[in-house]
Structure formats: structure tokens, C-alpha cells
Amino acid sequence: MTPTPKSQSMARLEARINPETKALMQKAADLEGRTLTDFVVSSAQAAACKVIERHQILQLTLEESVVFVDALLDPPEPNNALKLAASHYKEKMLPHGISN
């Protein structure tokens, strides 16, 4: 995700924090030669990107990767529960008259 260009409209975000936390953030911003606002916004944006990435990327162990690839290359026959779930899905989600 990229920072918002200055030419776009801006939205306001307010937060109440204790004085110790503000002093900590101000010290960090000063050490980087940035304003407190710039430091807080860029830090929050980086944290948000990491959280979103963690939730969107599936990471498997080597063993899990092998099992996954094996299932793709040689899938098992669908059991009754899967057939029933597919039937329910088609009934509820697919437009009438269209079949796969």
C-alpha cells in the first residue's frame, strides 16, 4: 500500500494517549527528524499493511506444502459431505437455469 499523495483530500484521525506514550513517540520522531504526525501516520500505516498481509497470505510448513500440492495433483474423490455442500451452494448461490 502506498502513502496518499498530498493532492488528494485528507481525513482526520484523533487519538487520546497518555503523556508518557506521547513523549516516547515524540522522541522517536525527533530521532528520525520527522514531525510527530508524520511519524505516527507512517508507523500506523506500516503496521496496518503488515496486519493485512498476515491475514491475506497463507504460509505453510514444508510438510503442509507437500500435502497441499499432492491434493491438487491427485485430489481425493468427493465424500458425501462435500457433495451435499456443493448441492446446497448451487441451490443458494447460483442463478436459476445456470449449471456447471
Q: For 3-61, write each residue's pLDDT tens digit.
A: 555 668 999 999 999 999 999 999 999 999 999 999 999 999 999 999 999 999 989 99
What count of other Cβ atoms lies within 10 Å of the Cβ of residue 39?
19
| Amino acid 24: pLDDT | 98
| Amino acid 76: pLDDT | 92
